[in-house]
Amino acid sequence: MQKVRITLYGTLAKITGEKTVEVNGSTLKEAISQLTVKYGEQFGNKIYDEKGNLRRFVNIYVNSKDIRFLNHLNTELNDEDKVSIIPAVGGG
Amino acid sequence: MSLFYNSVMEGSPLRENRYIKTLKCRECGAEFPSVRIHACEHCFGPLEVVYKLDSIELDRNSFKKRSNTLWRYHELLPIEDKTRVVDLGAGFTSLRECKRLEEVLGLRKLYIKDDTLNPTGSFKDRPATVAVSKALEFGFKAVGCASTGNLAAATAAHAAKAGIPCYVFIPSNTEMSKILQAATYGAEIISVKGTYDEANRLAAQASDEYDWALVNINIRPYYVEGSKTLAFEICEQLGWRAPDNIIIPMGSGALLCAAWRGLKQFRDLGLIEGLKTRVIGAQPEGCSPIVAAFKSGSSDVIPVEKPETIAKSLAIGDPGDGIYALKIMRESGGVAESATDEEIIEGIKLLAKTEGIFAEPAGGVTIAILKKMIGSGELQKDGEVVCCVTGSGFKSSETILESFPKPMEIEPSLEELKKMIKWGDDYAKG
């Protein structure tokens, strides 16, 4: 299991009460599931929709790279990777 | 009151706007009071301002004695404190009849909505004047934005007028004229090594750290309202009717969505009768995720990681309003189309040479697509088109310059001049 650091932004950080959390996980999905266990349904419902899909406006970056250009939730994680979860990034 | 409101409402007293009904999530439909929030509490979807249209008493005569700026439509803008409005004179730009370009293209009726005439040279003055005013109303002491350049200049100029600091996040390959413009207005330039989307992401992270009103991020529901005035003006300038076709450049797709919202509001208020406008979205081929989704029949927009286009103001790989722009184009019977860099340059030159309008590449995109669609028959030659030219060529001179040969230099003598003119005449005759 890799140890990664997840930084949460906006409302997500308000729910957890912590901006940065260290978790273990070999994929992004595993790392996030640790967060949903730790912070409960209220947190999980913010990340996933009713069908269990990642919400459209939840943006996740591994080492600053958008996971849509990696392997989405199946992106593999390495030790010391930095994950950012940022809701509602609408630009332009 | 939820945790969310407790956190976002610090320092922002709940105010009642006479005409604002609510903020509504464009994704799940949840409604919120008009406060300092920018995303849905439930799904993080974008919020839009809903007005009490029934309470707004406006008719065509209401506008006769009003100022020639977009603030003539103040009832339909999300500002309640008029004393805080930061106005550099944005809006009410010319709607130009284009007889020479009509002839060249064989089109019955063409108008250019010339937003190069805005105070900082682009349509972005529209959202900037509204957003900076709203930021002051909310009590922010600094503003900023993520930008491909035009919004940077517009926000910086309005911040200068308001006398507050401005922080602009731009990709490091932004055109020098746009950087210079924003810097001269006094903005702090944060040049990010990466794409626009990376600069935008950093700005979103910064909005968590600093108490800045980043106009297209945490003021976004109000910011986008400014852009719809472009559609209001077109209707008014056409004699209180909507155009048959409108071509709008798309970066994020926000302008297209705002223009459509504007047309619908004018229809709902009875200021125009009916609405049959075909909305056509234009993107450069090197960054055309919305066009790709439209053509593939998808309702989802797959982002472009590394945009490659001379139309840098449209180089947004992950368009925030893309999915909504798609819906509007489909609902209105419009289309989405793209143009290559070569076609864009040709579009800029064609517009400049026939109508005397100097556009940045985003304007060249709309002209290129106009030409292409007339050629393919997607636009009827006997139809009417309004083409939106959203930024001045002076802002992209380095890009446009590359497509021109260096001017011939001569000695200050008549003989040399005559040789040059003869050469020019021969050249013109082919």
Encode pLDDT of B179-197 as tens digits. Answer: 999 999 999 999 999 999 9
Question: For residue range B215-233, what is the model confidence (pLDDT) as tens digits?
Answer: 999 999 999 999 999 999 9
Is A92 inside a domain boundary? no
- Of the candidates B317, B397, B315, B403, the residue with the CA atom closest to the CA atom of residue B121: B397
Same fold, B95-121+224-401 and B122-223: yes
CATH class entry, domain B122-223 = alpha beta
Distance CA B382, CA B355 (A): 20
**If you average pLDDT over residues B99-126, what whole number do you get?**
98
Chain B nearest-CA distance from A59, in A, is 9
Q: Do A90 and B320 touch (CB under 8 A)?
A: yes
Separation in Å, CA B427 to CA A85, B15, B79, B220, B285? 60, 66, 56, 51, 32
- Domain spans of chain B, in order of start: 3-55, 95-121+224-401, 122-223
pLDDT tens track for B315-362? 999 999 999 999 999 999 999 999 999 999 999 999 999 999 999 999
Residue B15 has pLDDT above 90, yes or no: no
Among B7, B39, B146, select the one facing A57 at the smallest CB separation: B39
CA distance linking residue B147 with residue B312, whole number of Å: 10
Query: Would strands B109-114 and B143-146 be described as parallel, antiparallel, or unpaired?
Result: unpaired
> Residues B371-380: pLDDT tens digits?
999 999 999 9
Burial class (CB in 10 A: 0-12, 13-18, 19+), A78: exposed
- Domain count of the fold of chain A: 1
Task: Please give the residue range of the domain that contains residue A59.
Answer: 3-87
Per-residue pLDDT at B7: 34
- Model confidence at B404: pLDDT above 90: no
State yes or no: pLDDT of B16 exceeds 70: no
Q: What is the dihedral of CA B261, B282, B250, B382, to 10 degrees?
A: -30
Backbone angle region of B89, left / alpha / beta, with phi > 0 → left and psi within -120 to 50 → alpha: left
The answer as to whether A61 is a domain residue is yes
Instruction: Give me the pLDDT at residue A90, please.
Output: 73
- pLDDT at res. B12: 41
Q: Evaluate if residue B14 carries a pLDDT over 50.
A: no
Q: What is the CATH number of domain B95-121+224-401?
A: 3.40.50.1100
Q: By three-state DSSP, how is residue B226 classified? A: helix
Range A58-86 average pLDDT: 97
Band of pLDDT at residue B398, cut at 50, 70 and 90 = confident
**Interface probe, candidates B1, B9, B43, B147, chain A, greatest A C-beta count within 10 A:** B43
CATH number of the domain where residue A46 is located: 3.10.20.30
Q: Is residue B1 pLDDT above 50, yes or no? A: no
Separation in Å, CA B90 to CA B25, B118, B243: 28, 5, 22
Distance of residue B212 Cα from the nearest chain A Cα, in angstroms: 14
